[in-house]
Amino acid sequence: MKNLTIFLRYALSVIAGYLVMVLLLVVAQDLTFGRPELGTTPFYSIFFAGIGSVLAAVGGGWVAGQIKRHKQLWPQQIMCLILIVESTYLMTNDILLNPLWFELLASMSLIFGVLIGGWIANYGWVMPMMRRT
């Protein structure tokens, strides 16, 4: 029973974190600044949509970390794997309109944001002090 509880908590943390990230991405990109398209969207709009996207990923990673605290950031690593699979699918099927390098940077920024959010949830804003032996 204990293993089932642990598994369900991991699953809940990943699902809730990813859902929060997606909802915040919709707010940051679609409702606020519009979906960024290279060449047609003004630079300031791409810049602020990018910052909003990273903050959305931080929020998703933080929520996952609050539900299941784990020092190795397992829920966040699972979220990163889902992001990699999703991005690879979108890029290989020509669903995205932007150049490949632009989409790769966007995907990497989301992965970075998820890991930062998990770090903040588990360790706080600053790095813990290491003891010298």
What is the domain count for the chain? 1
pLDDT (0 to 100) of residue 72: 80
pLDDT (0 to 100) of residue 125: 74
Q: Where is pLDDT greater, at 33 or 2?
A: 2
- Write out the residue range of the structural domain in which residue 108 sits: 2-121
pLDDT (mean) for 94-110: 89
The reply to whether 133 falls in a domain is no
Cα–Cα distance measured from residue 90 to residue 32, given in angstroms and rounded to the nearest whole number: 23
pLDDT (0 to 100) of residue 131: 55
3-state secondary structure the chain: CHHHHHHHHHHHHHHHHHHHHHHHHHHHHHHHHCCCCCCCCCHHHHHHHHHHHHHHHHHHHHHHHHHCCCCCCHHHHHHHHHHHHHHHHHHHCCCCCCCHHHHHHHHHHHHHHHHHHHHHHHHCCCCCCCCCC
Cα–Cα distance measured from residue 67 to residue 76, given in angstroms and rounded to the nearest whole number: 11
The reply to whether 128 falls in a domain is no
pLDDT (mean) for 69-81: 87
The reply to whether 91 falls in a domain is yes
The reply to whether 127 falls in a domain is no
Q: What is the CA radius of gyration of the chain?
A: 16
The reply to whether 88 falls in a domain is yes
Chain-wide mean pLDDT for the chain?
Answer: 88
Residue appearing with tokens 């300031």 = 44
Cα–Cα distance measured from residue 30 to residue 23, given in angstroms and rounded to the nearest whole number: 10
The reply to whether 129 falls in a domain is no
List the structure tokens of 87: 């991005």
pLDDT (mean) for 114-124: 90
The reply to whether 131 falls in a domain is no
The reply to whether 59 falls in a domain is yes
44-53, 57-66, 90-99, 117-126, range with greatest mean pLDDT: 57-66
